[in-house]
Every structure is written in structure tokens, then in C-alpha cells.
Amino acid sequence: MDSAIMFLFISVVIIGIVLVIIINLTRKSPHALDKQHYQEQWLSIEQSVGTDNGSMQFAIVQADKLLDKALKERGFAGQTMGERMKSAQKNMTNPDAVWAAHKIRNRIAHEDSMTVGRKQTLQALQGLKRALRDLGAL
């Protein structure tokens, strides 16, 4: 009887160790981002910024999308960009600036009369660029 209990105990321990190893080997680890791709995209965004409201709005929306792509590729959890940003906050130098830029993007997307100034645009882009650097995309 004692040997049967000992065998059962050892079996459970071995199965537990095997499961831990399998989980660690199959876990989705964040992989390195293609910096060249992100740098090309970022350069395109910066070059798209003109003096008109439309080009400034477009740049903010595109930069926000680029950050979301990086968050997804790095494997941050969340169904929405906001959830992914929340998951990534500890990896960001200035999460408040990123949130401010994302809120501007949301206003652009949902308010027809939204206008952005050059200073506001540059601040938003600066925050998003910093986040992309923090994630290793730039």
C-alpha cells in the first residue's frame, strides 16, 4: 500500500514538471520587432504632417495605428488598443503622453468637428514615438 502511494506521488510530481516545461516552451514570447519596417512607417507619418488640419489628423491616426500594431506584435494582452496600452504601461517612459495622444485620436475618429493644432499634433506624435522606442520598434 505504501509503495502504491509513493508511486502515485512521484507520478503526480513528474506530470507536474512535464506540464510546466510544456507551458514554458509553448508560451508566446514577445519577439523582436522589425525596426526597419517601423522606421519606414514612422518616416512616412512624419512626412505626411502638413499645415492643414486633415494632414495633422491623418498623422495622429496613423501613428496611433502603428503603436497598436507594435503592441500586438509584442504580445500585450487586450481586446482593444486601450487594454493593450494598459498592459504595456510599465514598459513606457511616459504613458500619460501616450494616453493623451490616443484620446486625441479617438476624438478625431468620433467627432466630426475636431480640429488639431500643430503644437498638439507634434506633442501627440512625440508621445507615440517615445512609446514605439520604448517597445523596441524604433
Interval 77-101: pLDDT, tens: 999 999 999 999 999 999 999 999 9
- pTM assigned to the model: 0.77
Mean pLDDT (whole number) for 57-77: 96
**What is the pLDDT at residue 29?**
53
All structural domains of the chain with their residue ranges? 35-134
116-138 pLDDT, tens digit per residue, is: 999 999 999 999 999 999 999 99
Mean pLDDT (whole number) for 53-70: 96
Mean pLDDT (whole number) for 22-48: 83
Query: Within 28-117, where are the H helices?
Result: 35-48, 53-73, 81-88, 95-110
**What are the distances in angstroms from CA 10 to CA 23, 54, 89?**
20, 67, 42
DSSP conformational letter for 90: G
